[in-house]
Structure formats: structure tokens, C-alpha cells
Amino acid sequence: MSKTDVEDVPNDDPYALKNAPYLKPSKDYKYKEKVLVFANRGITNLGRQLLNDLKSLLPHHKAESKWEKRVSYAEINEICEISSCSSVVFIESKKNEMILWVAKSPYGPTLKARITNIHTLKDSTFFGNCLARSRPLLTFDKSFSELPHLKLIQTLFTQVFGTPNNHPKSMPFHDHCLSFFYLDNHIYMRHYQISPENEFSINNPDRQMLTEIGPQFALEVILLLNGSFNGITLWRNPNYLSPIVVSSTALNTLHKQMRKYKMNAEAERYKKRQKFKDVSPHVPAQVVSDETRRKGRERRSSIQRKCLCSSINRLTFVPFTLYTFYLLYSMAHTTKENRDVYYRKAKEDGYRARSAYKLLQIFKAHGIFYPLVDSNEAKAIILNHKCVFQGSRSVQCTSIGRIRNVIDLCAAPGSWSQLVRNLVNYDYLSFKTAVDSLDSGSICSRVRDYCNTKPVIVSIDLQEIAPINGVYTLKGDITDKKVLDQVRDLFVDNISKNIAKVSKDSNIEAGAQLITCDGAPDISGLHETDAFVQSALIRASLCVCCSILDANGTFVCKTFFNSTESPIFRQVSIFFDECTIFKPSASRMSSSEHFIVAKGFKPLGKLRAIKDPETSNFQENIPESLFLGPLMQCGDLSGYDKVIKLLE
């Protein structure tokens, strides 16, 4: 079409080419209305994508090469003047944050904000679209018209992000919208496409819909300056914290927590050391001599002095870095013990080892101590019982059938003794409270004496056991006659004299109702060898049962056999009505340990002294050899034969 043809078009035609407004030059248009969009060197990939998205939104932008970090901000104004730009959008990437600068050059104002929650067009899936270089509509929520600093930001964003009218690179229509929202001290930017709801609503502005097309980000305003990258601070965000302040605050908080934790830990250790004083119950003179008592007092005093000195010294806090704490924390929580829930629970509950929960699960599974009895239930048991006194071994009222005397063999470090002490004392206090609330004439005198008799718990081990409150600790061999004599003396001294008087039995001997053994030999790595040696330890424990355990008593011991056909299981089952093998869930799956739970002890006779199976001649005592011979001579020796075959 020639120039002459254009002029021949009628003037009243609105679609005439010569009447198109975008062909008419605007006298009000300023050619310096351009936006300089660039970033500094070292910007991240995410920041580079955001920079490209901002360029696509601003058809009147002008790019610039990357800016050196060492150059001052004032030189940006010179770059704007050279590039004929009146506005600046500058993205500065720092070590721990990304800063957005928006300014009007050369007179200001300037906005500095931290960019967060960035979602660019590449890393997000948006369903909308808009034509390139189309003019956007800018919308602001009502907060921008209420707060003074937001009014300034609204004016600044309008002049920077709004495409100038009649710009040569822009289209004469609007098909997308830039929306700014203010919430929780953050400015959120969203980009939407403007499209009609259907084909009949193209020219209806009330029937348009918005579809988000990205990018989107949030700005936390740091400050406003009245100049271009300099000048007086018009407004500063009081809630803004730089990454350095945040890290230093977190580190100081961590130091305070660690200091408090160390002080609490030292205080707990000191309290535990204080419990060493008078924690052990009264032990008769024939068990502990005066020399032993004197040494124990000196040892407790020295421990208390050392604990006090160490507590004072450790209260001084030594600074450490966050990385050092991370290493110590990660090392402490990657060990097998700290990953074990029962290990951590034992520390919280005050038990010396996680094995206490193995015994607890055994008790719950086989009804030993459980269900627990309170004072009301104990009162009902006492009123409904039948007082029966049978034989010289029945020194207590057998119709009640509660556990009062317990022996813990191979007890170190003492977690089983702690658990048994808690359960026995709870049961004892329940029955004692019930008896005190009843009239003296309503119950048998032997029952009253039985309920008022304090329980006796004895722990025996070759190693020295730290004192346990309410538990008698003995150091010795469980096959030694002297050790068992000490246990008998403890039981006799703590049994009510009224019961012994009523029984009219000069040979009365107090026994235990429960014997436990968690002992194990040093592991050699050969399962058959370890199981065979463990069987010898079980037989020694069984000899203690034959000597001290009362009729219908209970015996719990560890074994490395998991079959009821094993020789040691058959030997134990001879003496008990009910005998089972049980593996609690607290026992590790990788461990081959199981537990023999034997209930209903059947004494075939009294074993006055423990004999050594290697040196004793069992034919000398025919009655005892009838039932102890198969026990002491290893049964059918099948376990021993397996070991011999392995050695060959």
C-alpha cells in the first residue's frame, strides 16, 4: 500500500491506518524512560532465572553486563546515565541472602528488600500465557494506600514496572496483570493472565478471569532511602534481622542451652553422689564387718569431695563453634546404644542398664507381679484368703502367695535388682496399707505379721555392685557355701518372730519366692561353646534354687538355647511345674539370648550345701543323688558332644 492510498481512506473510518494511535508520535513521550535490569557477579542460578523473568515482563528494559562487587553503589547512577535509563532494578546476590534494589536515578528514592520464596517460570508449572511486550496492569491491595512507606513503594513500583504509554516496544492492549499484596511485613508479587471467561465475553471487562503465569516472589523491605542508592533513611524495618544476626543469635541461644544442660547434668550427678550416703539398708554384723563399714564411709566421702570439686570446675563454660557442637551431637547419636530406644529410656527412668526392660516384659508376659495390686485389691485378697500352714518350709502364710524375698544372681550392674525392688516395694506397701486399715480381730495374726514383714532383696555378683537403696549387695561366688549362708541369715533376721513362734519348728528356714539370673560367660564367638558354658552357670543357679527357693517359687535365667529340647531346659523342667522359653522384644534381634521362665518349684529335698560336680562323689549321699545326679552330671551330654565335634 502506498502513501497515496493511505491518504485516500475516509477520515471517519476508526480502523484507518493513518488514524492508528500507535503510528502517531507522542509529544509527551520521554525516550529516557527505560529500566536498567542487571545483577552482580556471583549470582546464583535461581537469581539468574529471576533476572531473565523480570526482563521478559519489562519491554522497556535495558540489559547491562554484570556488575563488580567491589564497585560502590554510587557508580550505578553513572551507568544509568550512560545507558539513558531513569530506573534501576538491581539484584545483588550475597552469601546467605538475595537483595533486590529498585531505584529512580539519579534523584531517588531507593528501595532495598530481601527476596524470598522465589518461583521462576522454569521451576514451576503455570498454565497461563501472555503476549510478549504487552502492557501490564498494576494492582495493589488496600494496605498500600494506608501505610506511608507503602504509598511510596506503590509509586516507585508504578513508575518502574509499569510500561510507559506509547512506548515503541509495547503493544496497545493489556492482557496480563502484576499484583502486589502486603501481608506479615512482606510484599508478595504475583503475575496473572487476563483472559475472557468464554468467547462471548471478549469485550466485557466484567467477565474476565485471571490465570497465574509466574514468576512469583516475596519481598521483605529492609529500608527506604530518599536518594539513589544513598541519602537519608526514610524508613527502616524494625523486624529485619540480617543473616549474621540470625546466626549469632542462634549460636548464643545454643550456648545458653548447652550451659544450662551442663549445669543440670552436673547437679544431677552431684545428687546421685549424695545418695551414696546411707543408701544401703541395715546389714547384720555377721555379713558386713566394722572394717568394711569404715572403708565404705571413707569411699563415699572421697566420692562426694571429688564430685563437688568436679561440679565447680565444670560450671565454667568453654566456648565452642556450632560445627564442633554438630560433630559432638552427631557422634553421640550415631552409636548403637543411643539409637536404641530402651537404652535412652533406661537413662530417663534411672535404670543402670537396658536389661531391666527385658525382665519387665518377662514379668508382664507370665503374670509375675502383674497385674499390680493396689491397697483396695490387697484388702479383698486378705479378707478372702484361707490361712493354711504347711510344713517347716512354709514360714509365711502360703494362701496369699506374694513375692517378698528375692535373690538376684550375677546381678551387676544392678538393673534387675532395681526393677524387682520397685515392684516388691509397691506390692508390700499395698498390703501393709490394707492390713493397717483392718481390725486386728478380722484377720489372722500370721497374715498380719506376714504383711508387716519388710521384703528382702539380695544381689550377688563376683564384681562389686554400687549400692542400691533397699537392696543388700553381696560380692562373692554363687557356688560358695558362705555366700548362701549370708543370704539365709539375711532372710531369717528379717522374718517376723511371731511366725517362727507359731510354727513351733526349730529348723525353720526362710526362703526366697523369686530367683533371677542374668549372668553370662565371656563370649568366645562359638555359639555351641558359649551355650555349653552358659548351661553350667544355669546349673549353678539351679543349685541355689534347690537350697533357698520356696515351694511354688519362680526362677528366671538367661540361656543361649531357644529350643525346649535342649538338655538344660529339660533339667530345669524337672524341678518346676511350668517351664517355658521366652525372648522379650527388648532383647536385640541379633542376640541369641533367650530366657527360661520356670514357675511352681517342686523341692525334692533340701540341699544343705552346694557340692562341686567335679570333686564331689554323689554316691555318698543317695537321697540327694537321686534327683541332683542328672542335674550335676550334665544330663545326656549332648551339648558337650557338639562342642567336641567342633573342636575336632
Least confident of 368-377, 468-477, 601-610: 601-610
Query: Does residue 67 have a known ligand-binding role?
Result: no
Residue 395 has pLDDT above 50, yes or no: no
What pLDDT, on the 0 to 100 scale, is given for residue 481? Answer: 86
pLDDT digits (tens, 9 = 90+) for 296-339: 556 555 655 555 455 444 444 444 454 455 445 444 444 555 55
122 versus 406: which is more confidently predicted? 406
User: Are 30-240 and 343-499+509-601 equal in CATH topology?
Assistant: yes
593, with CB counted inside 10 A (0-12, 13-18, 19+), is middle
Q: Using pLDDT thresholds of 50, 70 and 90, give the confidence band for residue 397.
A: low
Query: Does residue 518 have a known ligand-binding role?
Result: yes
Q: Using alpha carbons, select from 371, 378, 502 the residue that is nearest to residue 436.
A: 378
Query: Does residue 477 have a known ligand-binding role?
Result: yes
What pLDDT, on the 0 to 100 scale, is given for residue 577? Answer: 92
Cis preceding linkage at 109, omega within 30: yes
- State the Cα–Cα distance between residues 558 and 594, nearest whole angstrom: 6
Write out the E strands in 87-215. Answer: 87-93, 98-104, 110-119, 134-140, 171-183, 186-196, 208-212
What pLDDT, on the 0 to 100 scale, is given for residue 632? Answer: 38
- State the Cα–Cα distance between residues 220 and 237, nearest whole angstrom: 9
498 versus 200: which is more confidently predicted? 200
What pLDDT, on the 0 to 100 scale, is given for residue 318? Answer: 42
Residue 267 has pLDDT above 60, yes or no: yes
pLDDT digits (tens, 9 = 90+) for 550-570: 888 999 999 998 888 888 999
Query: Does residue 101 have a known ligand-binding role?
Result: no
pLDDT digits (tens, 9 = 90+) for 434-475: 988 888 777 877 788 778 888 999 999 999 999 999 999 999
What pLDDT, on the 0 to 100 scale, is given for residue 605? Answer: 56
What is the 8-class DSSP label of residue 318? P
Opening angle at CA 593, ends 630 and 581, nearest 5: 60
Beta-carbon contacts of residue 109 (< 8 Å; ≥ 6 apart): 103, 152, 156, 224, 225, 226, 227, 228, 231, 234
What pLDDT, on the 0 to 100 scale, is given for residue 205? Answer: 76
- State the Cα–Cα distance between residues 583 and 575, nearest whole angstrom: 22
What pLDDT, on the 0 to 100 scale, is given for residue 70? Answer: 65
Q: What is the CATH code for 30-240?
A: 3.40.50.10480
What pLDDT, on the 0 to 100 scale, is given for residue 314? Answer: 44
Catalytic: 18? no
Cβ(223)–Cβ(113) under 8 Å? no
Average pLDDT of 628-634? Answer: 38
Return the CA Rg of the chain: 44
Q: Per the residue annotation, which of 558, 602, 606, 645 is the catalytic one?
A: 558
Residue 374 has pLDDT above 70, yes or no: yes
Average pLDDT of 292-296? Answer: 56
Query: Does residue 53 have a known ligand-binding role?
Result: no
pLDDT digits (tens, 9 = 90+) for 119-171: 888 777 766 677 766 778 889 999 999 999 999 999 999 888 887 766 666 66
- State the Cα–Cα distance between residues 483 and 477, nearest whole angstrom: 7
3-class DSSP state of 61:
strand
Residue 2 has pLDDT above 90, yes or no: no
- State the Cα–Cα distance between residues 189 and 127, nearest whole angstrom: 17
392 versus 449: which is more confidently predicted? 449
Beta-carbon contacts of residue 496 (< 8 Å; ≥ 6 apart): 449, 450, 452, 453
The total of other beta-carbon atoms located within 10 Å of residue 176's CB is 21
Q: Where are the domains of the chain?
A: 30-240, 343-499+509-601
CATH architecture of 343-499+509-601: 3-Layer(aba) Sandwich (3.40)
- What are the residue ranges of helices labelled H in 275-394? 290-314, 322-332, 336-339, 341-349, 355-366, 375-383
Beta-carbon contacts of residue 333 (< 8 Å; ≥ 6 apart): 339
Beta-carbon contacts of residue 114 (< 8 Å; ≥ 6 apart): 97, 98, 99, 100, 219, 220, 222, 240
Write out the E strands in 19-121. Answer: 35-39, 61-63, 87-93, 98-104, 110-119
Cis preceding linkage at 455, omega within 30: no
Element housing 528 (H / E): helix 527-548
What sign for the dihedral angle of Cα 321, 323, 324, 329?
A: positive
